């Protein structure tokens, strides 16, 4: 059963070594993420899953001990997801950022496993995956990585799209209220067009939370560099 969840943005810019000179601009996001991860630890889960968007070839399960690197972003920094023997496949970027957040929090509260989700995965398939995760242990927690739209300004990765603000407001409202139905109703095609990589992982969370009676709290909503960042905690 799902007992807690933390929702965090997944850009490697959260890692100060990657952000370099821009690092202070994301201090509020890092603090909010640390608070959300702290609430996960307080829930005393039997198992933690880190769920994040992944491209082709990087979906599926990543066992404890899987490693990721930020070398592709010009930084000689590696991270490990929990304890375990090194795995063959490297973590996708979103799960590497999740592993970095857990390392920053000295996570040692429960076994950890990663799950890369195809950004085009249908809502019902995402929800079904979430239900399976929730049923895997008596007390399950999720660290859900993903961003909203990348189209909030003309300098955003996806340029300015007038639909982005409304989509992001809907997503932030649902995540802040732990509204499962509203999360599952997020438009898959619109999310793809707006480059909202968090849509699929959020819908995995929605499936996991069905019947759990969790309450949500929005810890941060911001759009630095034209990309929507949302941090929320469910407990």
The string of pLDDT tens digits covering residues 37-54 is: 999 989 999 999 999 999
Quickly state the pLDDT bin for 88 (edges 50, 70, 90). confident
User: Average pLDDT for residues 123-146, to the nearest whole number?
Assistant: 98
Q: Considering the entire predicted model, what is its pTM?
A: 0.96
pLDDT in the model for residue 106: 86
Apex CA 119: angle with CA 213 and CA 164, to 5°?
80
Residue 83 predicted with pLDDT over 90 = no
CATH number of the domain at 152, please: 3.40.830.10
Residue 69 predicted with pLDDT over 90 = yes
Residue 214 predicted with pLDDT over 90 = yes
**From its phi and psi, is residue 170 left (phi > 0), alpha (psi between -120 and 50) or beta?**
alpha
User: Average pLDDT for residues 93-113, to the nearest whole number?
Assistant: 93
pLDDT in the model for residue 22: 72
Strands 140-145 and 2-8: parallel
How confident is the prediction for the chain on average, in pLDDT? Answer: 95
pLDDT in the model for residue 50: 98
With CA atoms as reference, report the closest residue to 230 among 185, 167, 180, 140.
167
Cα–Cα distance for residue pair 82/67, rounded to 1 Å: 9
User: Average pLDDT for residues 82-104, to the nearest whole number?
Assistant: 91
pLDDT in the model for residue 104: 92
Residue 87 predicted with pLDDT over 80 = no
Quickly state the pLDDT bin for 109 (edges 50, 70, 90). confident
Residue 230 predicted with pLDDT over 80 = yes
Total count of domains within the chain? 1
User: Average pLDDT for residues 24-45, to the nearest whole number?
Assistant: 94
pLDDT in the model for residue 110: 83
For residue 171, give its domain range.
2-234
Specify the DSSP element, H or E, that contains 47.
Answer: strand 47-54
Quickly state the pLDDT bin for 19 (edges 50, 70, 90). confident
pLDDT in the model for residue 18: 93
User: Average pLDDT for residues 203-221, to the nearest whole number?
Assistant: 97
User: Average pLDDT for residues 9-21, to the nearest whole number?
Assistant: 92
Cα–Cα distance for residue pair 204/123, rounded to 1 Å: 8
Cα–Cα distance for residue pair 208/4, rounded to 1 Å: 10
Q: Which residue has the higher pLDDT, 127 or 22?
A: 127
Beta-strand ranges (E) seen in 55-96 are 60-62, 67-69, 78-80
């Amino acid at each position: 059963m799902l007992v807690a969840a933390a929702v965090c943005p997944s850009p490697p810019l959260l890692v100060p070594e990657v952000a370099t000179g821009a690092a202070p601009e994301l201090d509020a996001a890092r603090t909010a993420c640390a608070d959300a991860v702290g609430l996960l630890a307080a829930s005393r889960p039997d198992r933690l899953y880190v769920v994040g968007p992944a491209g082709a070839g990087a979906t599926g399960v990543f066992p404890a001990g899987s490693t990721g690197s930020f070398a592709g972003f010009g930084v000689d920094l590696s991270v490990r997801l929990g304890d375990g023997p090194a795995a063959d496949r490297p973590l996708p970027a979103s799960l590497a950022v999740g592993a970095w957040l857990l390392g920053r929090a000295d996570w040692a509260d429960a076994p950890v496993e990663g799950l890369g989700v195809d950004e085009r995965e249908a809502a019902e398939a995402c929800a079904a995956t979430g239900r399976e995760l929730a049923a895997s242990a008596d007390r399950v927690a999720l660290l859900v990585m993903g961003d909203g739209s990348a189209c909030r300004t003309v300098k955003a990765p996806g340029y300015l799209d007038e639909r982005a603000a409304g989509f992001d407001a809907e997503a932030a409202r649902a995540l802040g209220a732990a509204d499962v139905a509203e999360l599952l109703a997020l438009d898959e095609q619109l999310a793809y067009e707006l480059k909202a990589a968090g849509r699929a992982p959020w819908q995995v969370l929605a499936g996991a939370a069905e019947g759990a009676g969790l309450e949500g709290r929005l810890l941060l909503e911001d759009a630095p560099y034209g990309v929507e960042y949302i941090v929320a905690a469910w407990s």
